A and B are shown apart, each in its own frame.
Chain A
C-alpha cells in the first residue's frame, strides 16, 4: 500500500499503527511532512502504539505546533489592537479561526499567514491602520500589485516589519473575477463570536469557505489538510446540531458553492470515512480526478503525475478569471520567468 494511502488510513482510523513496519513509517512521516500534517498525525496517534522514535518525534511535533499556534494567534491579537481603535471589525478566517474556536482540526495544525475578512467599505482604512501599526507591503512588481488590487479578493500581502509575519486582508472569500460570487455581506453579518472573543464565520459558512478554499479557489495544494479541516468540522458541527447538513446546504446555495461543498463532503467520505446524510451520499464520476490529485504523492513525499498538477493549475486560474484575461496573465507570468 502506498505511503499516502497509509497516512490517510491512519488519520481516518482505518489502519492500526501497531501493524506498521519501521520502513513504512519512513514513507508515512515523509508524506505527512510534505502535506504539512505531521503534527496533526502526532495528535491523532498520541495514545497509539508506535515505535519509540516515532513517539518521540510526535511529542516534539505537538510541542512545536503549540508554540506556532500561539505565535499565529498573537498576530490576530496585534491586528485587533491595530484595528479596534478605528472601530474596524474583522472576521478571522481559516487556521487562526479554527484555533480561536478551539476546533478539533486546530490540534497540530500549521497556521501560515493571518487571514481576516473585513467589509469592502473598510478595506482602505484597514490598510492604513495596519501600515501605521508596523505592517508593510511585501515587495512585488507593479504588475502583480495591480493584478491583486483589481482582481483578487484581498489586499496585496502585508508583512510585519519586526515580527516578519504576513497578514492577508480579504473583502470577499473568492476573487472578484471568479465565476462564483459568495455573499460577503452575509458572511460578515452572520458571523459569530468564538470562545476567545474573536469573530469567526458561523458553522455553515465556515464549511462553505473551507470547501471554496479547497476546490474553487486553488489548485488543491495542501488539499489533504484542507479536506481534513472540512471533514472534522462538519462531523463535529453535525454532532452538535442535527439540522446542520440542511443549514449547510442552504448557505452553500446562497453563496453559489453547492457543487464545491457537496464534492468536499464526498471526498471526506472517500478519504476520511465521513458519514453523510443520504441526499449527500451519491456517487459522482468526476470525483475520481480530484481523489487522484489529493493522493498524488509518492513514498518520498514528491508530487507525482506533474501533468495532473499542471491541469489543476490551469483549472484554478480558469475558475478565477475570464479566459481572455487568463491568457494575458499566464503569458506575463511566463515572460517574467
Chain B
C-alpha cells in the first residue's frame, strides 16, 4: 500500500495502509504522542482502499478492509478517511483480539482501581469517561476495556476518543485545541471530533487497574441509581463483549469473577455534570 503508518494502542500494534495520504497524515497527527516501536511486529492490519483504481480521485470513496472485513459495508468519502481508519481499527480488535476479554465499555482509573462503564453508542459512556479523564482520573479508554482472563485486571485501550454531536462542545470548552482532531461533520454517526488523551494516560497505557465499580449508564432521563444483581450484570456484559464466546471457559471464569467481585449499578442522568456526580458518589461507596 502506498501510504502506511504503525500505531500502538494499549497492547495492540496496528499497521494501517491506505491508498491516500490524507487519512495517514491525520492519524499521524492524532497519535504523534504515542510510543513508537519499529521493532514490534503488527498483529492487526487495517487497509483503506479504493474499490477501483480511478476511485482514488473520482468521487474518492474509502472502503475499509484489513484482517477482518464487514461484507457489503458502505464506503465513506475521503473527507471522513479518519473515521474510516478508526472504524477499521475497532473492527480488527473487536473480531480478532484473543488475549483479553473485550468489553464495549469505557474505563477510568484512580489509584490502581477502575470504573468500567458499559454501554452502547449513545449511552454516554464515552463522554463521561472523557470528562472524568480531564479531571483527576486516568482515561483508560472510551470504546473498549480489556479484562485479563487470568488475573481479572482491566487493561487500557486509550485510542483517540471519539466525541459525537453535543459532547464535542462540552469537551472543546475544557481542553487545549491542540488536543483535538478535525471536525468531521455529517458522518453516518453525526458530527465527530477526536480528542487525544492526556499525556499521562498515554504514558500509563500498559498499566492495569483493578475493576472496582461497574456502571451501566443511560444518558437522558431522570437522575437514578439502581443496584444491579450479579445475574443481570453477567447477561448484559456477555452482550457487551465481542469475544466472550471465543474465549471458552477462560471467558466464563473471567466474567463470573468480574460480576461477583465488582459492585454494579445502572445509572441514568440528564446531563454530564449529574452523571459525573453519580460516578463520584458511587465510587466513594466502594472505598477499600
Report the stretch among A62-70, A120-128, A183-191, A201-209 that lies at the interface: A62-70
Report the stretch among A22-30, A94-102, A284-292, A309-317 that lies at the interface: A22-30
Say yes or no for B45: interface residue by CB 8 A criterion. yes
Do the beta carbons of A30 and B98 come within 8 Å of each other? no
In the complex, how many angstroms separate the beta carbon of B12 from the nearest chain A beta carbon? 10
In the bound complex, residues from chain B placing their C-beta under 8 Å from that of A239 are none
- Among A54, A63, A300, the most chain B Cβ lie within 10 Å of the Cβ of A300
The proximity string for B residues 49-76 relative to A, scoring 1 for CB distances below 8 Å and 0 otherwise, is 0000000000000000101000000000
Task: Give the residue name and chain of the B residue nearest to A24 (CB).
Answer: B41
Do the beta carbons of B47 and A53 come within 8 Å of each other? no
Say yes or no for A33: interface residue by CB 8 A criterion. yes
Report the stretch among B120-128, B195-203, B227-235, B245-253 that lies at the interface: B245-253
Say yes or no for B40: interface residue by CB 8 A criterion. yes
Q: How far, in angstroms, from A140 to B13 measured CA to CA in the complex?
A: 40
Given contacts A33-B67, A56-B99, A300-B1, A63 and B250 within 8 Å (CB-CB): yes
Task: Give the residue name and chain of the A residue nearest to B46 (CB).
Answer: A300
Say yes or no for A44: interface residue by CB 8 A criterion. no
In the bound complex, residues from chain A placing their C-beta under 8 Å from that of B40 are 22, 51, 53
Say yes or no for B39: interface residue by CB 8 A criterion. yes
Give the residues from 1 to 27 in chain B that come closer than 8 angstroms, CB to CB, to chain A: 1, 13, 15, 17
From B38, B65, B98, B99, give the contact of A22 (CB < 8 A): B38
Given contacts A30-B45, A301-B67, A22 and B39 within 8 Å (CB-CB): yes
Say yes or no for A40: interface residue by CB 8 A criterion. no
The proximity string for A residues 41-74 relative to B, scoring 1 for CB distances below 8 Å and 0 otherwise, is 0000000000101101100110110111010000
Task: Give the residue name and chain of the A residue nearest to B6 (CB).
Answer: A26
Say yes or no for A302: interface residue by CB 8 A criterion. yes
Say yes or no for B207: interface residue by CB 8 A criterion. no
Task: Give the residue name and chain of the A residue nearest to B1 (CB).
Answer: A300
Say yes or no for B43: interface residue by CB 8 A criterion. yes
Given contacts A53-B40, A53-B41, A302 and B47 within 8 Å (CB-CB): yes
Do the beta carbons of A22 and B246 come within 8 Å of each other? no
Say yes or no for A34: interface residue by CB 8 A criterion. yes
Q: How many residues of A contact B (CB 8 A)?
A: 24
Say yes or no for B204: interface residue by CB 8 A criterion. no
Give the residues from 91 to 146 in chain B that come closer than 8 angstroms, CB to CB, to chain A: 96, 98-99
Task: Give the residue name and chain of the A residue nearest to B97 (CB).
Answer: A60
Q: How far, in angstroms, from A68 to B247 measured CA to CA in the complex?
A: 9
In the bound complex, residues from chain A placing their C-beta under 8 Å from that of B250 are 63
Do the beta carbons of A22 and B247 come within 8 Å of each other? no
Q: How far, in angstroms, from A53 to B42 measured CA to CA in the complex?
A: 9
Q: How far, in angstroms, from A282 to B99 measured CA to CA in the complex?
A: 46
Q: How far, in angstroms, from A29 to B17 measured CA to CA in the complex?
A: 15
Do the beta carbons of A26 and B15 come within 8 Å of each other? yes
Do the beta carbons of A300 and B17 come within 8 Å of each other? yes
Q: How far, in angstroms, from A53 to B250 measured CA to CA in the complex?
A: 21
Task: Give the residue name and chain of the B residue nearest to A52 (CB).
Answer: B40
Q: How far, in angstroms, from A30 to B44 measured CA to CA in the complex?
A: 8
In the bound complex, residues from chain A placing their C-beta under 8 Å from that of B45 are 26, 29-30, 33, 300-301
In the bound complex, residues from chain B placing their C-beta under 8 Å from that of A64 are 98, 246-247
In the complex, how many angstroms separate the beta carbon of B40 from the nearest chain A beta carbon? 5
In the bound complex, residues from chain A placing their C-beta under 8 Å from that of B13 are 53
Do the beta carbons of A22 and B1 come within 8 Å of each other? no
Do the beta carbons of A60 and B98 come within 8 Å of each other? yes
In the bound complex, residues from chain A placing their C-beta under 8 Å from that of B98 are 60-61, 63-64
Do the beta carbons of A67 and B67 come within 8 Å of each other? no
Task: Give the residue name and chain of the B residue nearest to A299 (CB).
Answer: B1
Do the beta carbons of A54 and B17 come within 8 Å of each other? no
In the complex, how many angstroms separate the beta carbon of B147 from the nearest chain A beta carbon? 14
In the bound complex, residues from chain A placing their C-beta under 8 Å from that of B96 are 33
Task: Give the residue name and chain of the B residue nearest to A20 (CB).
Answer: B41
29 contacts between A and B (CB under 8 A): A22-B38, A22-B40, A22-B41, A23-B38, A25-B42, A26-B15, A29-B42, A29-B43, A30-B15, A30-B42, A33-B45, A33-B67, A34-B67, A53-B13, A53-B40, A53-B41, A60-B99, A61-B98, A63-B248, A63-B250, A64-B246, A66-B248, A67-B247, A68-B246, A70-B248, A300-B45, A300-B47, A301-B45, A301-B67
Contacts A33-B67, A300-B47 aside, 20 further interface pairs with beta carbons under 8 A come to A22-B38, A22-B39, A22-B41, A23-B38, A26-B41, A29-B41, A30-B15, A30-B42, A33-B45, A53-B13, A53-B41, A53-B43, A56-B99, A57-B43, A63-B250, A67-B248, A68-B246, A300-B17, A300-B45, A302-B65
Question: Top 5 A-B pairs ranked by shortest CB distance?
Answer: A25-B41, A67-B248, A60-B98, A64-B98, A33-B67
